[in-house]
């Protein structure tokens, strides 16, 4: 049977980047995607940008993905090499869980038994990957949170008959991952996989907007300010080596005008503020529009002209306006369709 379905992320993941893709598309370096290129994503998470790249860029000859979360990477590897085995375990889990619908106590008992089993980490790789997907689909808000002992501790979510086994998508993902090299470890190890024409996309755990607001503990080790600085040093190194990169992060200055942490850190690169919606906040009222940062080390064909000085000229329009960086006449301004 040929597999024609388009691969999409198989997990819910904090900071999933589906919302940001149209902004990322605008800053992509056109010269790189016209030629054969290597795509490298050192903080892959659920891979929203990875799958978009794999589906839309035929010149993407090779991709390299990495994450520090061993259980996540085991799941990627299992889908790549043992998709059918994984599907058969997921079908059993889905059948058993759906059969408990209507009995909250039994559903909970089942969920916490599977969570305990997952935390023992004694199943073989496909069983462990199936538990990982099961927990992701049935837990509260698709969170991945572990304690210091690397024990997953998210409570059950309130979903009725959630999809646990999306067979077509798992097969499509497995197919798409055949040209992807899958690594587990710190983001810096991806450097040795960069080739002549390489594009990196970094989506690190975001710097929290306040002590309590943001969620950034995907793994047992925290991604603090020193880690953000280490990442910037890595980006500078890539720049020196002439590799392209795009990075997203929270806009701490949007929250507190005096917080210039990223503006200072990336002062030598291009910083754009884009609007993005977050869905990880448990309180729906706090899930509103926020700005995020998109930073890169190259000038794209089009840059926004809406800086503070000329913003007023365009208040009658409701679309974003972009002009070529060589100061094109106004009649050549490109209007982005939303």
Ligand X SMILES: C[S@@+](CC[C@H](N)C(=O)[O-])C[C@H]1O[C@@H](n2cnc3c(N)ncnc32)[C@H](O)[C@@H]1O
**With CB under 6 A as the contact rule, which of the stretches 12-20, 31-39, 128-136, 156-164 interacts with ligand X?**
12-20
- Say how far apart CA 20 and CA 248 lie, in whole Å: 9
Q: Is residue 46 part of the contact set for ligand X (CB under 6 A)? A: yes
Residues in contact with ligand X, counted by CB under 6 A, come to a total of: 21
Q: Is residue 76 part of the contact set for ligand X (CB under 6 A)? A: no
**Can you say how many angstroms the Cα of residue 313 is from the centroid of all Cα atoms in its chain?**
35
Find the residue with minimal CB distance to ligand X: 45
Pairing of strands 198-202, 60-67: unpaired
- Say how far apart CA 35 and CA 336 lie, in whole Å: 24
Q: Is residue 68 part of the contact set for ligand X (CB under 6 A)? A: yes
User: Nearest approach, Cβ of 191 to ligand X (angstroms)?
Assistant: 12
Residue 314 vs residues 183, 272, 324: alpha-carbon distances, Å = 46, 18, 17
Q: Is residue 218 part of the contact set for ligand X (CB under 6 A)? A: yes
Q: Which is nearer to ligand X, 13 or 266 (CB)?
A: 13
Which runs of E-coded beta strand occur in 68-184?
Answer: 180-184
Provide the angle, in degrees to the nearest 10, between the axes of the packed helices 167-176 and 70-99: 160
Q: Is residue 199 part of the contact set for ligand X (CB under 6 A)? A: no
| Other beta carbons less than 10 A from residue 17's beta carbon | 23
Q: Can you count the helices (H) and strands (E) in the chain?
A: 10, 10
User: Nearest approach, Cβ of 229 to ligand X (angstroms)?
Assistant: 13
Q: Is residue 51 part of the contact set for ligand X (CB under 6 A)? A: no
User: Nearest approach, Cβ of 48 to ligand X (angstroms)?
Assistant: 4
Q: Is residue 29 part of the contact set for ligand X (CB under 6 A)? A: no
Question: Can you give the binding site for ligand X, defined by CB under 6 A?
Answer: 13, 15-17, 42-43, 45-46, 48, 66-69, 186-187, 203-205, 218-219, 223
């Amino acid at each position: 049977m040929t597999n024609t379905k388009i691969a999409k992320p198989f997990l819910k993941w904090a900071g999933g980047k589906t919302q940001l893709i149209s902004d990322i598309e605008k800053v992509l370096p056109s010269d790189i995607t016209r030629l054969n290129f290597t795509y490298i994503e050192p903080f892959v998470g659920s891979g929203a940008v990875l799958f978009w790249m794999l589906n839309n860029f035929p010149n993407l000859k090779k991709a390299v993905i990495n994450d520090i979360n061993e259980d996540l990477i085991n799941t990627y590897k299992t889908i790549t090499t043992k998709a059918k085995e994984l599907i058969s375990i997921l079908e059993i889990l889905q059948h058993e869980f759906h059969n408990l619908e209507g009995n909250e106590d039994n559903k909970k008992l089942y969920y916490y038994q599977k969570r305990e089993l997952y935390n023992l980490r004694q199943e073989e790789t496909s069983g462990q990957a199936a538990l990982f997907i099961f927990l992701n689909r049935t837990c509260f808000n698709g969170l991945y949170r572990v304690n210091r002992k690397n024990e997953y501790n998210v409570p059950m979510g309130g979903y009725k008959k959630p999809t646990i086994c999306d067979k077509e998508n798992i097969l499509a993902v497995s197919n798409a991952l055949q040209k992807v090299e899958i690594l587990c470890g710190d983001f810096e190890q991806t450097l040795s996989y960069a080739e002549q024409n390489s594009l990196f996309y970094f989506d690190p755990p975001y710097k929290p907007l306040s002590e309590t607001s943001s969620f950034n503990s995907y793994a047992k080790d925290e991604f603090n300010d020193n880690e953000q600085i280490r990442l910037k040093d890595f980006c500078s190194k890539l720049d020196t080596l002439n590799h392209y990169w795009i990075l997203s992060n929270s806009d701490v200055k949007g929250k507190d005008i005096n917080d210039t942490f990223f503006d200072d850190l990336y002062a030598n690169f291009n910083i754009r503020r884009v609007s993005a919606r977050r869905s990880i906040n448990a309180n729906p009222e706090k899930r509103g529009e926020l700005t995020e940062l998109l930073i890169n080390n190259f000038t794209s064909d089009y840059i926004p002209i809406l800086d503070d000085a000329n913003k007023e000229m365009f208040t009658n329009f409701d679309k974003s306006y972009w002009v070529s960086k060589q100061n094109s006449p106004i009649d050549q301004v490109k209007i982005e369709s939303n």
